[in-house]
C-alpha cells in the first residue's frame, strides 16, 4: 500500500491545534491533531448540501451565498455549478493555508472553483461575517466542523448555540436557507433551529453520494419571513 505523505501543516488561528495535509497517490486527507476532517474520496454529502441549498433559492436571478469552510472545494464547486452567472459566492476560511492548498495541490480535485470570478475569499472567522450581516445572504452553508460542535476551533461552538443561530437568521434575506453539514446526527439540533425561527428539514444522506458509504446529516433551515 502506498504510504501517506505529509505535504504541509498549518496552525489553526487562535487555537493550540494544527491542520495537516496528506497525500497518498491521488487521495488527499486533511486532519486536525490525529482526527480526519475530510478526505478527497468522500465528498458526496458535501455536494448534496450545496445542491439542496441552491435548489431552495433557484428562483432568484442573482443570489448571494456565504459558504463557511472551504475544505477541499467540493461544496463551493457544487454550489457554483447550480448558480447562474449573476450569482455571488463568499467563502470564509479561517486557515489561510487551506486557501493556498486549494490554489495548489487540491485545485484539481473540484475543478479549481477559487478561479471562478463569482467567488470572493475572506480569510477569517465565518461567525464574524454572519454576526455583521443584516439580510445580506440568500443562503449560508456551514461545513466548518464535523457537526454542530466546535471541533476545529472552540469558538465555532457559538455558531450552533441560540445566539449564533439568531445571528444566522438575521443574516439571511426572507426565504433564505441556512444549511449545515454534520458527520453524525444530533437529536436536539433541529429543535434548536426551530426555536431560532427557522423551518427545518433534516436529512440523512450518503457520504459518497451515489456510490453509497455511510450516512451524514444535513439540516436545511429556512427563514420564511
Q: What is the pLDDT along the chain (225 residues), one digit of tens a residue?
A: 899 999 999 999 988 999 999 999 999 999 998 888 899 999 999 999 999 999 999 999 999 999 999 999 999 999 999 999 999 999 999 999 999 999 999 999 999 999 999 999 999 999 999 999 999 999 999 988 767 765 555 567 788 899 999 999 999 999 999 999 998 888 899 999 999 999 999 999 999 888 878 999 999 999 998
- Are 39 and 28 contacting, i.e. CB atoms less than 8 angstroms apart? yes
Radius of gyration of the chain (CA): 16
- Are 138 and 84 contacting, i.e. CB atoms less than 8 angstroms apart? no
In three-state form (DSSP H/G/I as H, E/B as E, the rest C), the secondary structure along 50-70 is HHHHHHHCCCCCCCEEEEECC
Phi–psi pair at 183, nearest 5 degrees: -70, -20
CATH architecture assignment, domain 42-222: 3-Layer(aba) Sandwich (3.40)
- Written as nine digits, the cell of 136 is 445580506
Determine the Cα–Cα distance for residues 210 and 206; give it in Å rounded to an integer: 7
Amino acid at each position: 500500500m502506498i504510504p501517506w505523505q505529509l505535504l504541509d501543516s498549518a496552525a489553526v488561528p487562535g487555537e493550540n491545534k494544527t491542520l495537516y495535509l496528506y497525500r497518498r497517490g491521488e487521495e488527499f486527507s486533511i486532519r486536525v491533531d490525529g482526527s480526519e476532517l475530510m478526505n478527497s474520496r468522500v465528498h458526496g454529502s458535501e455536494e448534496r448540501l450545496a445542491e439542496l441549498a441552491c435548489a431552495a433559492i433557484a428562483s432568484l436571478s442573482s443570489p448571494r451565498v456565504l459558504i463557511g469552510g472551504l475544505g477541499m472545494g467540493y461544496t463551493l464547486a457544487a454550489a457554483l455549478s447550480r448558480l447562474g452567472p449573476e450569482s455571488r459566492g463568499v467563502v470564509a476560511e479561517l486557515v489561510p493555508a487551506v486557501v493556498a492548498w486549494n490554489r495548489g495541490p487540491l485545485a484539481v480535485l473540484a475543478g479549481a472553483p477559487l478561479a471562478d470570478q463569482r467567488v470572493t475569499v475572506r480569510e477569517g472567522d465565518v461567525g464574524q461575517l454572519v454576526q455583521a450581516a443584516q439580510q445580506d445572504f440568500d443562503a449560508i452553508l456551514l461545513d466548518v466542523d464535523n457537526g454542530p460542535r466546535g471541533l476545529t476551533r472552540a469558538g465555532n461552538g457559538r455558531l450552533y448555540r441560540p445566539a449564533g443561530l439568531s445571528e444566522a437568521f438575521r443574516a439571511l434575506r426572507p426565504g433564505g436557507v441556512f444549511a449545515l453539514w454534520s458527520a453524525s446526527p444530533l437529536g436536539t439540533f433541529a429543535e434548536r433551529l426551530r426555536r431560532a425561527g427557522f423551518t427545518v428539514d433534516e436529512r440523512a444522506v450518503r457520504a459518497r453520494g451515489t456510490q453509497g458509504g455511510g450516512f451524514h446529516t444535513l439540516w436545511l433551515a429556512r427563514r420564511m419571513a
